[in-house]
Structures are given as C-alpha cells and as structure tokens.
C-alpha cells in the first residue's frame, strides 16, 4: 500500500449522485508529500463528489491551520486555512486537461487527490507571513535590528513592533520625499 492510497477516489465504481468523504491531513501528510511551501499543519477536509454519468464534480472544503516559518524571525507560525475549491473530472483515454476539466483514464477509473489537497492549502498561504507585532522571537528580532543598522545592538528590550513601526515610517518618509507621489496626490485632490 502506497503512502497516499488513502486519498484515492474510486470514480468508476461510484453510483450517480452525491457521496461525501472526510480526511484529516497533518504533519505526516505534509512531510511525505514533500511540497516546497508547507511542511506542517492540521487541516480537516470535507469532499463531496457528485457523479452525473461520466462526469464528476468534486467540491473540497478545507478548514484548519498550516504551519509556516515567519519571514522575519523564522520561528514557526500558524496560518489559517479556510477555503472551498471545485474540480471537474471526466473519463477519457489518458490523463490530460480539457478546458476546466481534468481527464482521467476510464481504464483506471480512480483519482488520487493528495496533491490537490496540498495545493489548496499552499494557495492559502499569504505571500508575506509574519507574526503579529510583539510575537516574533525576541533574540532573532534583536539580531535583525542589529544588522539592519536601524537600532543600536544593545537595544534588546524593544520588541519587533518597533521594527514594524520603523518600516512603516521608512515607507511613509520615502513617499513624502518622492516628487512622483506629489504629482499623484494632486490628481487625487482634483477628484
């Protein structure tokens, strides 16, 4: 038995109508699938498969958390996963895509959804993932401030919210000193 056999849906033997499946994907799933974005998490999956002759509509509902490293301090942080996705599947002679439908060989009659589940979770991860202000690893934040040259090296009592505020002040100052922003502000004021 393969490590992802539990995620195979036997489409050919399904009767017409709706059938529900439930899965729980956890750290073991993410480590075995070895995807680049997510390595840990706990996500509950509800899958509804609606068969109409030789076409299938798969509706996925995922709810849980993915654990990813913080971009600032590199400690793990939880990112909520709450998504609904749909996949259309048809039988054909080989694996392919036809418009918005996935074609599965009728001779095999099954679909392994493990990689789809991983991708649905990975797509929920924001481009920038950082802890809320004050929640980052204090030692790492101190090292980051030290090497960014913004705060004295011995100033380790401050939390990372100061660093975030400094980032905001930097971008505000940059926008105030840039004449292109002045021209854009004139356009906004005219409207």
Contact 14, 47 (CB under 8 A): no
DSSP state of 5: G
Structure tokens at 69: 């490293």
Share of the chain above pLDDT 90, in %: 48
Give the DSSP H or E segment for 186. Answer: helix 179-190
Which pLDDT score, from 0 to 100, does residue 25 have? 96
DSSP state of 21: E
Provide the pLDDT confidence category of residue 54 given band limits of 50, 70 and 90.
Answer: confident
Which pLDDT score, from 0 to 100, does residue 53 have? 85
Provide the pLDDT confidence category of residue 36 given band limits of 50, 70 and 90.
Answer: confident
Give the pTM. Answer: 0.73
Which pLDDT score, from 0 to 100, does residue 153 have? 41
Best CA proximity match to 54, nearest among 92, 107, 100: 92
The yes-or-no verdict on residue 21 having pLDDT over 80 is yes
Structure tokens at 173: 């100052």
Three-state DSSP state, 23: strand
Which pLDDT score, from 0 to 100, does residue 155 have? 46
Provide the pLDDT confidence category of residue 71 given band limits of 50, 70 and 90.
Answer: confident
pLDDT digits (tens, 9 = 90+) for 114-172: 999 999 999 999 988 888 888 888 888 777 777 776 554 444 444 444 555 445 454 45
């Amino acid at each position: 038995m393969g490590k992802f056999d539990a995620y195979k849906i036997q489409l050919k033997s399904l009767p017409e109508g709706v059938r529900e499946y439930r899965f729980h994907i956890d750290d073991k799933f993410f480590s075995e699938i070895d995807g680049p974005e997510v390595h840990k998490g706990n996500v509950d999956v509800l899958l509804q498969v609606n068969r109409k002759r030789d076409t299938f509509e798969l509706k996925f509902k995922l709810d849980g958390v993915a654990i990813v490293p913080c971009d600032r301090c590199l400690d793990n942080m939880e990112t909520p996963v709450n998504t609904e996705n749909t996949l259309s599947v048809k039988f054909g002679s080989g694996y392919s895509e036809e418009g918005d439908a996935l074609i599965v060989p009728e001779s095999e009659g099954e679909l392994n959804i493990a990689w789809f589940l991983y991708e649905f979770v990975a797509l929920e991860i924001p481009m920038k993932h950082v802890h809320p202000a004050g929640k980052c690893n204090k030692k790492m934040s101190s090292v980051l401030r030290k090497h960014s040259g913004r705060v004295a090296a011995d100033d380790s009592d401050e939390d990372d919210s100061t660093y975030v505020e400094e980032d905001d002040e930097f971008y505000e100052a940059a926008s105030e000193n840039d004449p292109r922003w002045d021209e854009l502000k004139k356009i906004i004021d005219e409207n």
